[in-house]
A and B are shown apart, each in its own frame.
Chain A
Amino acid sequence: MTADMGAGVRIDVTVNGRARSLEVRPHHTLLDVLRDDLGLTGTKECCLVGECGACTVLVDGVSVDSCLVLAAEADGTAVLTVEGLATGDRLGRLQETFLETGAAQCGFCIPGQLMAAHALLATNPRPTRADVEEGLAGNLCRCGGYEQIIEAVLAAAERTEAAS
Chain B
Amino acid sequence: MRAFTYERPTRLDDALALLAAHGPEARLLAGGTDLIIRLRDGSIRPRVVVDLKRIAELDADIREADGGLRIGARAVMTDIAADARIVRDYEALAEAAAVVGSIQIRNRATLAGNICNASPAADTAPSLLVYGARVIVAGVAGTRAVPLDEVFVRSGVTTLAADEIVTAIELPRPAKPGRSVHVRRTRRRGHDLASVTLTCAVDTDGLTRLAYGSLGPRPLLVADDTGLLADPAAPDAAKAERLETLFAAAAPSPRSMRASPDYRLAMLHVLGLRAVGTAIDRLTGGSAR
Contacts and interface: CB of A to CB of B under 8 A. Distances in A.
A5 interface: yes
Contact of A68 (B17, B36, B103): B36
Interface stretch (B4-12, B152-160, B225-233, B278-286): B4-12
Q: Quick one: which of A1, A50, A62, A138 has the most chain B CB within 10 A?
A: A50
Interface of B: 1-8, 17-18, 21-22, 29, 32-33, 36-37, 39-40, 47-49, 51, 53, 78, 101-105, 107-108, 189-191
B5 A3 contact: yes
A62 B107 contact: yes
Given A2-B18, A69-B36, 9 more contacts: A9-B6, A26-B49, A63-B103, A73-B32, A73-B53, A135-B103, A137-B190, A138-B101, A138-B190
A137 B286 CA distance: 31
Nearest to B40: A48
A137 B191 contact: yes
22 contacts: A2-B5, A2-B18, A2-B22, A5-B4, A5-B5, A6-B3, A6-B4, A26-B4, A26-B5, A27-B4, A48-B37, A48-B40, A49-B37, A53-B104, A63-B107, A64-B104, A65-B104, A69-B32, A120-B103, A138-B190, A138-B191, A139-B102
A25 B101 CA distance: 28
A85 interface: no
A86 interface: no
A116 interface: yes
A26 B39 CA distance: 12
A49 B43 CA distance: 13
Contacts of A6: 3-5
A64 B2 CA distance: 22
Contacts of A67: 36
The 3 closest A-B pairs by CB, nearest first: A138-B102, A6-B3, A26-B6
A56 interface: yes
Contact of B39 (A25, A27, A50, A72): A27
Contacts of B53: 73
Contacts of A25: 3
A50 B108 CA distance: 11
A22 interface: no
A68 B32 contact: yes
A34 to B, nearest CB: 15
Nearest to B193: A51
A96 to B, nearest CB: 23
Interface in A18-73: 25-29, 48-51, 53, 56, 62-65, 67-70, 72-73
B36 A64 contact: no
Interface in A108-160: 116, 119-120, 133-135, 137-139
B41 to A, nearest CB: 8
Given A51-B191, A68-B36, A73-B51, A116 B3 contact: no
A4 B48 CA distance: 10
Contacts of A5: 3-5, 47
